[in-house]
Amino acid sequence: MSEEMSLQSLVDGLRRDRRRGPYAGHREYVATAWAVDEAAARLLECGGAVEVARRLRMAVDRVTRALMYVDDSGGSCGDALRALTARYAQALAAAPPKNPAPLANWIATSVFDGPGWPDIPLVDFAPALGERGVRQLADLVEQRAADPKQADGWGTAFGVRATCANSSRRSPATPTTTSRSSPAP
Protein backbone atom coordinates (compact mmCIF):
# COMPACT_ATOMS: atom_id res chain seq x y z
CA MET A 1 0.00 0.00 0.00
CA SER A 2 1.41 3.42 -0.91
CA GLU A 3 2.11 6.05 1.73
CA GLU A 4 -0.68 8.28 0.36
CA MET A 5 -3.23 5.47 0.63
CA SER A 6 -1.98 4.72 4.12
CA LEU A 7 -2.45 8.37 5.10
CA GLN A 8 -5.96 8.36 3.65
CA SER A 9 -6.91 5.22 5.56
CA LEU A 10 -5.56 6.75 8.78
CA VAL A 11 -7.55 9.94 8.17
CA ASP A 12 -10.63 7.79 7.52
CA GLY A 13 -10.03 6.31 10.97
CA LEU A 14 -10.58 9.77 12.46
CA ARG A 15 -14.31 9.61 11.79
CA ARG A 16 -16.07 9.57 15.13
CA ASP A 17 -19.69 8.71 15.76
CA ARG A 18 -20.96 11.25 18.26
CA ARG A 19 -23.39 8.67 19.64
CA ARG A 20 -20.49 6.78 21.18
CA GLY A 21 -19.69 7.50 24.78
CA PRO A 22 -17.09 10.17 25.49
CA TYR A 23 -14.61 7.57 26.79
CA ALA A 24 -15.19 4.81 24.23
CA GLY A 25 -12.15 4.36 22.01
CA HIS A 26 -10.44 7.52 23.24
CA ARG A 27 -6.96 6.00 23.41
CA GLU A 28 -7.26 4.44 19.95
CA TYR A 29 -8.58 7.69 18.49
CA VAL A 30 -5.66 9.69 19.86
CA ALA A 31 -3.20 7.04 18.63
CA THR A 32 -4.72 7.32 15.15
CA ALA A 33 -4.41 11.11 15.21
CA TRP A 34 -0.72 10.84 16.11
CA ALA A 35 -0.25 8.19 13.40
CA VAL A 36 -1.73 10.64 10.87
CA ASP A 37 0.79 13.26 12.00
CA GLU A 38 3.70 10.82 11.63
CA ALA A 39 2.57 9.57 8.21
CA ALA A 40 2.09 13.15 7.01
CA ALA A 41 5.60 14.05 8.19
CA ARG A 42 7.05 11.14 6.21
CA LEU A 43 5.14 12.15 3.08
CA LEU A 44 6.23 15.78 3.45
CA GLU A 45 9.85 14.66 3.54
CA CYS A 46 9.26 12.83 0.25
CA GLY A 47 7.74 15.93 -1.37
CA GLY A 48 4.04 15.06 -1.37
CA ALA A 49 2.91 18.36 0.14
CA VAL A 50 -0.13 18.97 -2.08
CA GLU A 51 -1.79 15.66 -1.23
CA VAL A 52 -0.71 15.85 2.41
CA ALA A 53 -2.25 19.31 2.82
CA ARG A 54 -5.61 18.11 1.51
CA ARG A 55 -5.64 15.10 3.82
CA LEU A 56 -4.45 17.07 6.84
CA ARG A 57 -7.21 19.63 6.37
CA MET A 58 -9.68 16.77 6.57
CA ALA A 59 -7.90 15.36 9.64
CA VAL A 60 -7.93 18.73 11.44
CA ASP A 61 -11.63 19.18 10.71
CA ARG A 62 -12.47 15.66 11.92
CA VAL A 63 -10.51 15.94 15.16
CA THR A 64 -12.03 19.39 15.77
CA ARG A 65 -15.53 17.89 15.48
CA ALA A 66 -14.62 14.84 17.55
CA LEU A 67 -13.41 17.00 20.42
CA MET A 68 -16.99 18.15 20.94
CA TYR A 69 -17.94 14.59 21.89
CA VAL A 70 -14.77 13.04 23.34
CA ASP A 71 -13.67 13.42 26.92
CA ASP A 72 -10.31 15.14 26.60
CA SER A 73 -9.77 16.10 30.19
CA GLY A 74 -6.19 14.84 29.91
CA GLY A 75 -5.56 17.00 26.85
CA SER A 76 -4.09 14.24 24.71
CA CYS A 77 -6.53 14.70 21.84
CA GLY A 78 -6.04 18.47 21.97
CA ASP A 79 -2.28 17.96 21.79
CA ALA A 80 -2.72 15.81 18.70
CA LEU A 81 -4.97 18.47 17.14
CA ARG A 82 -2.34 21.16 17.74
CA ALA A 83 0.29 18.94 16.11
CA LEU A 84 -1.98 18.24 13.12
CA THR A 85 -2.72 21.95 12.72
CA ALA A 86 0.99 22.78 12.73
CA ARG A 87 1.68 19.97 10.24
CA TYR A 88 -1.13 21.30 8.02
CA ALA A 89 0.51 24.73 8.05
CA GLN A 90 3.85 23.10 7.21
CA ALA A 91 2.30 21.27 4.24
CA LEU A 92 0.69 24.47 2.99
CA ALA A 93 3.97 26.36 3.32
CA ALA A 94 5.64 23.67 1.19
CA ALA A 95 2.88 23.84 -1.44
CA PRO A 96 0.98 27.14 -1.12
CA PRO A 97 -2.50 27.17 -2.65
CA LYS A 98 -2.91 29.10 -5.90
CA ASN A 99 -5.95 30.83 -4.44
CA PRO A 100 -5.52 31.63 -0.73
CA ALA A 101 -9.14 32.80 -0.28
CA PRO A 102 -10.52 29.39 0.79
CA LEU A 103 -7.72 29.08 3.36
CA ALA A 104 -8.45 32.57 4.72
CA ASN A 105 -12.16 31.70 4.87
CA TRP A 106 -11.40 28.44 6.69
CA ILE A 107 -9.27 30.24 9.27
CA ALA A 108 -11.92 32.93 9.84
CA THR A 109 -14.74 30.39 10.03
CA SER A 110 -12.77 28.16 12.41
CA VAL A 111 -12.02 31.06 14.72
CA PHE A 112 -15.35 32.87 14.65
CA ASP A 113 -17.86 30.09 14.10
CA GLY A 114 -15.99 27.03 15.36
CA PRO A 115 -16.05 25.49 18.82
CA GLY A 116 -13.02 27.48 20.02
CA TRP A 117 -10.28 25.14 18.92
CA PRO A 118 -7.82 24.61 17.41
CA ASP A 119 -5.68 27.62 18.10
CA ILE A 120 -4.47 28.67 14.68
CA PRO A 121 -0.92 30.06 14.63
CA LEU A 122 -1.19 32.56 11.80
CA VAL A 123 2.58 32.95 11.63
CA ASP A 124 2.70 29.33 10.47
CA PHE A 125 -0.03 29.91 7.88
CA ALA A 126 1.29 33.26 6.59
CA PRO A 127 3.55 31.75 3.89
CA ALA A 128 0.58 29.84 2.47
CA LEU A 129 -1.75 32.82 2.72
CA GLY A 130 0.67 35.23 1.11
CA GLU A 131 -0.03 38.91 1.01
CA ARG A 132 -3.35 38.44 -0.78
CA GLY A 133 -4.58 35.84 1.70
CA VAL A 134 -3.57 37.91 4.72
CA ARG A 135 -5.49 40.87 3.25
CA GLN A 136 -8.51 38.60 2.68
CA LEU A 137 -8.32 37.36 6.27
CA ALA A 138 -7.97 40.91 7.60
CA ASP A 139 -11.03 41.94 5.57
CA LEU A 140 -13.03 39.03 7.00
CA VAL A 141 -12.01 40.01 10.53
CA GLU A 142 -12.97 43.63 9.92
CA GLN A 143 -16.33 42.60 8.48
CA ARG A 144 -17.01 40.46 11.52
CA ALA A 145 -15.95 43.21 13.90
CA ALA A 146 -18.10 45.79 12.13
CA ASP A 147 -21.28 43.70 12.26
CA PRO A 148 -22.81 43.84 15.77
CA LYS A 149 -25.09 40.89 14.96
CA GLN A 150 -22.07 38.66 14.48
CA ALA A 151 -20.13 39.90 17.49
CA ASP A 152 -19.44 37.29 20.10
CA GLY A 153 -19.12 37.59 23.85
CA TRP A 154 -15.52 36.44 23.76
CA GLY A 155 -14.12 39.52 22.05
CA THR A 156 -12.63 37.33 19.35
CA ALA A 157 -12.74 39.96 16.63
CA PHE A 158 -11.03 42.48 18.88
CA GLY A 159 -8.40 39.94 19.88
CA VAL A 160 -7.64 39.01 16.27
CA ARG A 161 -7.46 42.67 15.19
CA ALA A 162 -5.17 43.53 18.09
CA THR A 163 -2.98 40.52 17.31
CA CYS A 164 -2.78 41.58 13.66
CA ALA A 165 -1.87 45.13 14.67
CA ASN A 166 0.82 43.96 17.10
CA SER A 167 2.39 41.57 14.66
CA SER A 168 2.38 44.12 11.85
CA ARG A 169 4.78 46.14 13.97
CA ARG A 170 7.07 43.11 14.14
CA SER A 171 6.77 42.05 10.51
CA PRO A 172 4.35 43.31 7.90
CA ALA A 173 1.04 41.49 7.45
CA THR A 174 1.90 38.51 9.62
CA PRO A 175 -0.52 38.04 12.52
CA THR A 176 0.56 35.60 15.19
CA THR A 177 -2.34 33.51 16.42
CA THR A 178 -6.08 33.31 16.60
CA SER A 179 -8.14 31.72 19.27
CA ARG A 180 -11.16 32.50 21.35
CA SER A 181 -8.92 32.81 24.36
CA SER A 182 -6.46 35.25 22.80
CA PRO A 183 -6.04 38.07 25.27
CA ALA A 184 -6.16 41.55 23.93
CA PRO A 185 -2.69 43.09 24.31
pLDDT digit string, tens, across residues 49-107: 999 999 999 999 999 999 999 889 899 999 999 999 999 999 999 999 999 999 999 99
Is residue 80 within 8 A of residue 108, CB to CB? The reply is no
Does the pLDDT value for residue 177 go beyond 60? no
What is this structure's pTM?
0.81
Segment 127-147 shows an average pLDDT of 90
Segment 169-178 shows an average pLDDT of 47
